[in-house]
Amino acid sequence: MAFPSFCVLPPEILLIIFHDTCDDDGTTARSLASVSRTFRWLALPLVYRVVAVHSLGQVSSLIECFEHEPGCASLVEHIFVADQRLVLDCLAFENVLHTLWRHVGSTVQTLALHVNSRDEDVSKVFQTVFDASFPRLTDLTLCGEHPIPTSPLAFPALQRFHSAGLTRRNTASCFAPLTLSCPELSHIRVSMATERNITFAVAAAFGLPGARTDTERMCLDPVPLPENERREEAETHIPFPTLPRGLVSMVVKPAAPPMALFPGGTSMFYNQYFKQLEDLVLACPPGKVFLLPAFKRALWDVESYNITEAKRDWVEVIRGRPGAWTRVPA
């Protein structure tokens, strides 16, 4: 048996081995903790260092653990929250996430929230992230129908932002609030779910010659004005798109083509949409904007940035790799 000889190692050596071994979504740390009391005592910080929960029920159970063992919440550095159900109790999910962020917000460094529901209220689930304070958060991924930030964000250390799966809003509308609130932001990725045009907004944000800056062309979303600035004739405004001065790269993965009328065919509008993205890359400052291959379609089966890919990229970032921000397609 391997365990008896392994268990006689000094705790300091075991800790080094555990740290090198536990580089996944927390599964290895939980397995080690179940071996013996000694292993559980040594592995406990690693059990909570990386946490992945995949349903509303699992989030609720995690909160119960934090309430029974308050010190464990402060150990969480990386968290992945997902729910793949199309029908979701959005109010219940919203409430538990508010509670979860209060427990772990001060220590979390990477956060991914993946929610498949298309319910109108699902945006409130994502809004819990924007409402919370994450002083150490460096990496944020939102997959689903998230809202546009409408008030200052408490993400002072955020470096990488990834938006995936938006169909109702233009991700480019996030540029201005993120730039304003996140001075360290350097990497942006957009995994597109529709052919909603981002090219004019990106061109305007980079100040490219001849860029169209009228709001209708940029297709940006209006956001509520602050209470003290509202007037009878206007309660919303459209912030001009801006990008951080320290932007290193923007990675765009285009939406899949619509259903073809005949094999191998694509619509004129899709071809135009893709051509605009290709031209945008060439017009932007060298090395700033990268275009990944578009999501694929096979009849009704449409590729998307799914939970498997999101989790893989999240783990890659924890391991110190580029994850979703790689410029080379997987």
pLDDT at 278: 95
Taken in order 82, 202, 298, 117, is the CA torsion positive or negative? positive
CA distances to 62, 64, 199 from 70, in Å: 11, 10, 47
- Residues 197, 299, single domain; the answer is yes
pLDDT tens by residue, 82-121: 999 988 999 999 999 999 999 999 999 999 999 999 899 9
Question: Could you tell me if residue 2 is inside a domain?
Answer: no
Per-residue tokens: 33: 């903790």
Domain of 41? 10-49
Q: Which amino acid is at 256?
A: A
Q: Is 282 domain-assigned?
A: yes
Name the pairing type of β-strands 160-164 and 139-143: parallel
Q: What is the pLDDT of residue 98?
A: 98
**Do 115 and 26 share a domain, yes or no?**
no
290 within 8 A of 326, measured Cβ to Cβ: no
CB atoms within 10 A of CB 309: 18
**Residues in contact with 79: Cβ distance below 8 Å, sequence separation at least 6, in sequence order:** 50, 51, 52, 53, 104, 108, 110, 111, 112
**Contact by Cβ (8 Å): 44, 51:** no
Structurally, the chain folds into a number of domains equal to: 2
| 116 belongs to a structural domain | yes
How confident is the model over 154-173, as a mean pLDDT?
95
